[in-house]
Each structure stands twice: as structure tokens, then as C-alpha cells.
Structure 1
Amino acid sequence: MITSIYVENLRGVKRCVVNNLTHVNIFIGRNGAGKSTLLEAIYMASAWARPLDIIKGVSKLLHVVTRRRGHVDARYGWEIYSKYKDMLWFNKYINEEIRIALNFGEKKMEFRLMYSQPQPPHAPPADGPALWLVVAQGSNVIYYQRPDSFWSPVTKSTPPLPFSELQKRVEDELRQELEFLEGVLLLDSRLTPRDLEQRIWPQLLDRRLDTLIVEMLREEYEVDVHDITYKPVGGEYVLALKLKNTTVEIDALGDGARAAVMYASPLALVKDTAVLMEDPEAHQHPAGLKAFMSFALKIAKRQNLQLFITTHSIELINIIKQLVRELDMGIHVYFMERGPDGVVDVRMLEEVDVDVLQKTALIPGLSARVSA
């Protein structure tokens, strides 16, 4: 489990520290406070352990750059990354390193991203993204990138070291943390039915986890759904719900039901890792939101998932608070506020603080609708 996060020089965040993380972590604050950037920092760090997104099949660092621009043709991905990568740097200060540090209890993993890629042997092309792990070596530090690239930030060159021994030490000492990072999921509004059809649902069907998604849909979204299947449409196969009187493509579902399937399907596959959810309340009726969060939290409990959730909804917070009590899970709510200098103040809210926020509407944009 990640117990704390440190982020520096990423997007609009000059510096941000979040401590005392637990099973379920909810981040609230005004637009531009740095909530999504915090999720992206964890997602970027996970790229060191597994460079490709398991849902989209593209580089995670490329996805971070392009996901706010909408669809990007994969054939031109690296050209887009090279063109727009400066937007990752705070105030476009590209001479500074982006720093991300994750604490896992007593162990720490610190990562660096440089605008200009060093060129030790076997490194990716200069315009390709490369996240480096900071490794202690005596009184100095060495940057290490899988599979076998090392770089000295002091000499600006490849250090004369027994690489195989250092590599083995790092991989052995951080084995559990690396396995945790390999499975990290980012769930946001950019997921598409095609992503699920190509990479997620074949695995769900092989393990018959599709029944979990059907049960969730029956609870609130489509009470007469019998099954989910692949249906031939226009020369390809798409996911569709088999209802009592017809079969409906996932694309044709209401926004709430479609979003629930998008988020729930990858969730059912992973375990012993972190899941990053961006604004899961979008397009959801309160009853549907409760059904989805009940599914998500039960999966998280059973499969040892740590959840990081951004939201503008007090309603969502109340739903999660109720459910985690029933499941005996830890929950922390953090209020984020970014100053003019880019430094983010993060305050962990006590129970009474959340109640005060709801009553006074202290945070503009938070929903205070009555739960259904």
C-alpha cells in the first residue's frame, strides 16, 4: 500500500505532499487544485514497472500527455509526445526534473523525468519518455531505467559500476512494490468501449468474471439483463447486453450504465495494486452511483485494491463513507488547495469537517443533493 506521495514540478503543481494514505483516499478541492495531477503522478510512477497501459495498450507517459487532448492516432503518438511534452513541466520549466516519490511503509521509490533524455547504452530514443528510478549507491545516487540503463546525474554520464549486481539488488529489494505498481489502473472518461472489447473483456470471459458486471447492472441499471456478449456489427464484434426482448450494444446504453461498465470491467481483473478513479460520479444518478461504488468497494476489499478517487460530489463522499463502514475499510478525505506559487496545501479532513463542508457549501461545485 502507498502510504505517502510527493510530487514536484508536474503540470500546475510546484510541490505537493500527501501523507497518511489508507485503503480509500478521496481528494476534493476547486478546479485546478491538482487532484487529477496527483492521480497522474501515481500513474506515471507505475510506468517504471510496466510502461504500457493494460487497458489502452499505449505508453502510460504518452497517455498522460495526450489524454487531455482527446483521441490521438497511435501512429503519430511519439510525434505528439515530442511536440507537447513540455506541458508536463510546471510553468514550462523544462530544465527542472519532475520528481515523484512514493512511500510504501518503510520503503521508498523516487522517480525523475527529464525533458532531455540522457543517452546511455540501450536507452530509448531522445524524444521518447523515460522515467528514472533514483538508486542509492554509497554516498551518491544513480538513475536506473529498466531494463539495463544507468545514469549519473553528477557526471552526466554512464557510471563505471557493476550494473548486474546493482540491478539485481534493486529488483530484489523492491519486488513487492514493483508488483504493486505493475497493476495500477487509471479509470477516466477517456475509456472507450473499444478499449474494453479488445483488451479487457476477453480476459473477463476467460475467467467468467463477466457475471460480476451483469450482477451490478441488474442491481440498478438494467434489471432484465440476461448476459453480456460479443455481437457482430459492421464487420467487427462489439460488446452488447442481452435483454429480455432485444440485444443492445454497450455504445447505445445510457451514459450512467455505460460509464459503470467502463469502470467496473477493468476493476474486476486486478488485485494487490492501486486504482485511480477520476470523477466517478459523472453521468450517474444517485442510485446508480451507489450501485457502482458498492461493486467497486467490495472488489477493492476482496482483491486488496487501494483506491484513489477525485470528486466534486459530497454525495459520493457520503455514499463511500457509508459503504466503507459496512466493509470495515479505512477512508481518508483530503482537501487540496493550490496557491499562486503552485504549492498545494493538503489537509486531511475529520468527520466533522466533511459535515461542515456539506452544510456550508464551502467548496464551490460540490453537489449537495439529497441522497435517493
Structure 2
Amino acid sequence: MRLVVKWVSIVKFRGVREGVLSNLAGINILVGRNGSGKTTVLEAVHLALTLTDSFEFLVKRRGWFGLASIDTLFYRCSREARIIVELADRTRQELSLRVERRGETARMVRLEARGRRTGVSDILVYRDGRVVASKLGVAHNSFLVDWNIASSLGASESIYAEMLVHGGFSAKEFLLDMLRSKTGSVRSVEPIRVNNEWILHLVYTDHAIPYYVAGDGIRYALACLMTLVAHRDSVLLLEEPELHLHPGLMKLIAHAIIASYRRRGNQVFVSTHSVELVDMLVREAARNNLGDNEFRIYWLALEDGRLSYTSYGLSNASEALEEMKHWLYN
């Protein structure tokens, strides 16, 4: 399945009062100024597809600062939000979130889903960050990768395990071939048991080092790469994958994004501020002869909570790049 999400509608979620992003492609690049709604779009798609499975992650991924973290899920002082995604088979997954109870010690949020997954979950969130919720399952496989995942103990080990479960040895070989092409010295990536903990290690010819003490760039690149090669027919959402990367690793990420779509049938969303990464993605997409319905750039804008956008296909991607350069250098 090449195209999973066709459009997404957002109402009163995070900083978006209302907005629709339509005509989504196999690869979707979200660009725009800070506060233009890029991250909100990623989170909205992820939550609509994974329901309660991602609720706690999305609440805490920007940092836990008490029950106010729950309130920031809703536009300004709203008590209810709604997200709708239309899928490739023309079915819709609808999601509503509503604050049922406010208090000093806990919040009760009711999550109602209709579509591939239908059900209701009352989510109780305590001031200390504990979350109690009944599971609703997932409407479609969706995976969001950000810097927090790359730096959290256990997260990268889980991605590594998923890569082997879903992709087998061929997925790992593809990962290693890409790493060796840009780093040269990394021979393998393996979990090694240290003090009763399985820790992912980068293995060199004569030594190995824990993933967590490697450079910031290689850590985030590895988390993104493993996600891109681990899954099939899924929705993969990458937030600013260019963080901490030198040009060689950035080019590697661009190559892996296109390959993840073409070889593994994944739909990929990327939020970025990097002109260099967008340019690399455009060049890589052109080399692979992708069409405008397969590769699109969305320049997002947010005014008084209303989300709008300008869409560019591969055939006029140069206009998006010029817009980004104008914004960056003026």
C-alpha cells in the first residue's frame, strides 16, 4: 500500500484552531516558520492512527510540567479537540478528545474513536505523570521519531528489535550498508549485555561503544534509519531528522526516506527547517523518478489558529526551495 493517509483535518488540537491538509503523497515534507503547525500535524496523524497507544507519549514528549501538560493538547482554553484522517481505502478514522473533569490532582480525558477502530477510553492523568487508560488498539501502524526517542534509554533498543522482527537480516544489512557508506568505521550495530542491561552498541573493528555515548548526530541518524528500514506499509513521521547531522549523514537520511517509500511501501512525513535536507530529498526523489503525487512539499502557515498551506510537487519543488531560502536569508 503506497498511500495510507489522504488528508487530515484538525480542530482545536494544540495550536491549531482549524485546518485541513489534503492531497497527501507518499512522501510529505512539512516546512514553515517556527509555530506554523508542523509538529501539530505530525502529532495529530500519529494520535488518530494509534489512539490510546500514543496518548501518554504525545503528552510527555515536550516535557512533563504537571497537569498543564494535558491542557496544552487543546487549543487555548478549549475543552475538546477533534482529528479526522481519511485513509487510502476511503475509510475515515475519527478521533475526539474531551476534558471531562478538571481538578488539582488529576485530569479525566475522554477519547472517542470511530472508524477502523471504534471505542471509548476514559484516560485518567495524575499530577505526578501517571496515566491510566484502557487500550483501544491502533487504526494503522504509525511511528513517530524525534530527538527524545533517540536519547531515551530503551527506545533505540526497541526500534532495533522491531527492525529485526519486521525486516529480518536483510533490513539490518541494508542499514549497515548505508552506515558504512558514510561513516566507514562502523562495522555493526548490536545489543550487548552490560550490568544486566541490554544496551545497543556501535561495533568497530577492534572495539564497541554504547550507542548513548556516541555523537548526537550518529545517534539520531541511527534512530531514524532503523525506523525507516524496520517497517512496511506504515506511516513514519520524522521530526527534524537533520538535527546534529553533518551533510554526509543528512544525505544518508534523504536516501533512506526515499528508499523507505519505494522499497518498503511506507508513507513518510518529515518536518524540517533545513534547506539542505529538502534539497537533498528533491534530488533523491528526482533520481528515483517520483511523480508529483508521490512527493510533495507543504509550506505551512498558522494565523490566529487557522492552518493554511501552499503545496509543491516535485515538478515545482524549486519554488519551495527558493521560498525557504528567502525566509532563511532575509
TM-score, length basis structure 2: 0.81
Identity, % of aligned positions? 22
In the other structure, the counterpart of 1:296 is 257
Does structure 2 retain, via aligned residues, the 8 Å contact 1:260–1:292? yes
| Match for residue 296 of structure 2 among 329, 332, 343 | 332
Q: 1:213, 1:264 within 8 Å by CA — same for their partners in 2?
A: yes
2:187 maps to 1:226: yes
- Runs of 4+ with deviation above 6 angstroms: none
Is 1:24 the counterpart of 2:27? The answer is yes
Looking at secondary structure, tell me which structure has more strand per residue.
2
After superposition, residues 100-115 of structure 1 pair within 5 angstroms as 100-105=83-88, 106-115=90-99
Counterpart of 1:306 in structure 2 is 267
Residue aligning to 1:200 = 159
Q: 1:127 aligns with which of 103, 108, 114?
A: 108
Once the two structures are TM-superposed, the CA of residue 309 in structure 1 deviates from its matched residue by 0.7
- Gap change, CA 1:93 and 1:262, over 3 Å in 2: same
Q: 1:255 to 1:333 in 2, by over 3 A?
A: same
SS of 1:9's equivalent in the other structure is: strand
Q: How does 1:37-116 map to 2 (within 5 A)?
A: 37-48=40-51, 51-52=52-53, 60-69=54-63, 84-94=69-79, 97-105=80-88, 106-116=90-100
Shift of 1:203: 4.0
Q: Which residue matches 1:145? A: 119
RMSD: 2.7
Structure 2: segments with no counterpart, 5+ residues: 123-136
Structure 1-normalised TM-score?
A: 0.73
Aligned position for 2:322: 356
Structure 1 residues 311 and 11, CA gap change in structure 2 (3 angstroms): same
Contact 2:93–2:113 (8 Å) recurs in 1: no
Deviation at 1:290? 0.5
SS of residue matched to 1:337? strand
Residue of structure 1 in register with 2:131 after alignment: none
Deviation readout 1:59-100 (Å, 9 max, x if unpaired) = x11111111006x9xxxxxxx5x5531111101211xx3111
Residue 183 (structure 1) aligned with residue 141 (structure 2): yes
Cα deviation code 1:187-229 (max 9, x no counterpart): 11111363345423234345223222221210112x1222222
Aligned-partner residue type, residue 347 of structure 1: T
Q: Deviation at 1:335?
A: 0.9
Please point out which of 10, 28, 36 is paired with 2:39: 36
* Cα separation, 2, equivalents of 1:310 and 1:203: 23
Structure-2 residue corresponding to 1:6: 9
1:354 partner amino acid: A
Cα deviations by residue, 1:152-187 (Å, 9 ceiling, x for unpaired): xxxxxxxxxxxxxxxxxxxxxxxxxx98x4310101
Paired letter, 2:92: K
Cα distance change on mapping 1:193 and 1:110 into 2, 3 Å: closer
Q: What is the DSSP-based 3-state SS (H/G/I as helix, E as strand, rest coil) of the residue aligned with 1:62? A: helix
Q: Which residue of 2 aligns with 1:167?
A: none
Alignment: residue pair count: 298
The code of the aligned residue for 1:109 comes to Q
- Residue 9 of structure 1: CA displacement? 0.1
Partner of 2:309: 346
For 1:16 and 1:262, locate their aligned partners in 2 and report how far apart those are by CA, in whole Å: 31
Q: Distance between the aligned counterparts of 1:348 and 1:109, measured in 2?
A: 24
Q: What whole-Å deviation, never above 9, does each CA across 1:14-36 have from its counterpart, x for those lacking one?
A: 01111111111111111011100
1:259-304 CA distance string (max 9 Å, x none): 1111111222211121111001111111110012212321221111
Following superposition, the deviation at residue 364 of structure 1 comes to 3.6
Distance 1:134 1:146 in 2: 12
- Whether contact under 8 Å (2:99, 2:109) holds in the other structure is no
Aligned equivalents of 2:163, 2:13: Cα separation in 1:
35
- Partners of 1:91 and 1:285 lie apart in 2 by 38
Does the CA contact (< 8 Å) of 1:27 and 1:35 recur in 2? yes
Secondary structure at 1:114's aligned position in 2? Answer: strand
> For the residues of structure 1 that align with 2:190 and 2:288, how far apart are their CA atoms?
31
